[in-house]
Each structure stands twice: as structure tokens, then as C-alpha cells.
Amino acid sequence: DAGITQSPRHKVTETGTPVTLRCHQTENHRYMYWYRQDPGHGLRLIHYSYGVKDTDKGEVSDGYSVSRSKTEDFLLTLESATSSQTSVYFCAISEGQSETQYFGPGTRLLVL
Amino acid sequence: KQEVTQIPAALSVPEGENLVLNCSFTDSAIYNLQWFRQDPGKGLTSLLLIQSSQREQTSGRLNASLDKSSGRSTLYIAASQPGDSATYLCAVLPLTDSWGKLQFGAGTQVVVTP
């Protein structure tokens, strides 16, 4: 299995609070991605990174920001959490932009 | 916008039967197509990746075919086992986007009964 960890694995927070999710990889892959998975919507890309300090928006980026200061870490921040951001968040990595993506175990986030 | 569809949404088969999972996509301009498996409460596990120039890809009991012109891929799992019970997702990487932005189908939930 690809060396990808996500933290925390579960989180309950209140509306309006900031939340940061962390993705850590030990594979030295250049590309990293954040997805959310919701019933009825499947997996949707939030943000992605193609190198240190190089990030861009995905399909559902509103309300989210990301940062990547080191190759191994990709942070996803919900600036002010809303109930619509209750979801399961997955991080993925790939060696090349058209290569296989490897997924982390996910973070379950509940916003009350 | 590329749309990826997987039908049926759920499938139940007795152990030993071959599984046939379908994936269709609306735009044939793709880099590749990937099949993933997801167990309940877990992340996705990559099964097979088919490049747009390939017709099929095989790994053990798994075989995936790709017909780009008709916008279809099929995942075959031979001699199914209860351990094959999971949700199977396909995803395409559009040619128009070079940054790994996979477009996922909603998945087919498979139950293999002993």
C-alpha cells in the first residue's frame, strides 16, 4: 500500500469553526489531491497540488483552502465550517499527472 | 462536461459466478480510465488502469476492457468470492485536463453470497 496517512481520522466540530485536515505521504510523489465523498454525488475533487507551493482549484473548492509547504504534506482548511461540509474527505497522491492515484484512508468530518 | 455512469448501482451474485461491471462515459477524449475498489469505511484501492491506447488490462482474476469510441469500459471478475464484496468505482482522466482531475462514477455495490 502507498504510504499515505490522514489526520485526524474522525472529527466533530461546530458550525463556524476553522478545521484543518492533514495528508502525509512517504512516497515522494509530486501530485496530491483532496476529494470529498458524499452519497448521491460520488467523489469530487476539491483542490490539488502539482508541487510544493503549487496548488489549484478543483470542482468544489468554495469554502476550502489548501497549502503545501513540503512535498510530503498537503493541508486542507475549512475556514469556517458549515453543515454542508459534513463529508468524508480523501487525500490521494500520484507520481505523474496521468498515473494511478493512490488514496488515503479518509477523514470523517461532522459539522454540527 | 464529462459524465461517468455506472449501471447497475447494486449487484448480488452467488459465489463462483463471474462478475461483469459496466462503466460508460460521455466524452471519448480521455487519457486513461481507472477502476477502484472501496470497502465500507475505507479508502479506494486501485485495481487497474487502462491507457486510452489500450483495449484491455488484466491482473489475476480481473480483466478490464476499454472501447473508447463507444465510451464504455467493462470490469470482469472471474469466479467471484465473498471477499470480492465491495463497491467498485470507475474514473476517467479527461484529455482536456492535464492535472489528474479524475471524473468518478457513482459506483456499483457488489455482494457475493456464499
Locate A35 and state its grid cell.
476529494
pLDDT of residue A101: 93
Q: Which residues contact B97 (CB under 8 A, 6 or more apart)?
A: none
Cβ distance of A98 and B91 shorter than 8 Å = no
* CB-based contact, B95 to chain A, within 8 Å: no
Cβ proximity of B79 and B61 under 8 Å: yes
* CB-based contact, A107 to chain B, within 8 Å: no
User: pLDDT (tens digit, 9 = 90+) per residue, B61-90?
Assistant: 999 999 999 999 999 999 999 999 999 999
Binned at pLDDT 50, 70 and 90, residue B114 comes out as very high
* CB-based contact, A34 to chain B, within 8 Å: no
- Average pLDDT score over residue span A12-34: 96
pLDDT for residue B57 is more than 60: yes
d(CA B83, CA A24): 29
* CB-based contact, B76 to chain A, within 8 Å: no
Instruction: Calculate how close chain B gets to A53, using CA atoms only, in Å.
Output: 15
pLDDT of residue B98: 59
Give chain A's end-to-end CA distance (angstroms, integer).
34
pLDDT for residue A84 is more than 80: yes
Instruction: Calculate how close chain A gets to B98, using CA atoms only, in Å.
Output: 6
Binned at pLDDT 50, 70 and 90, residue A2 comes out as low
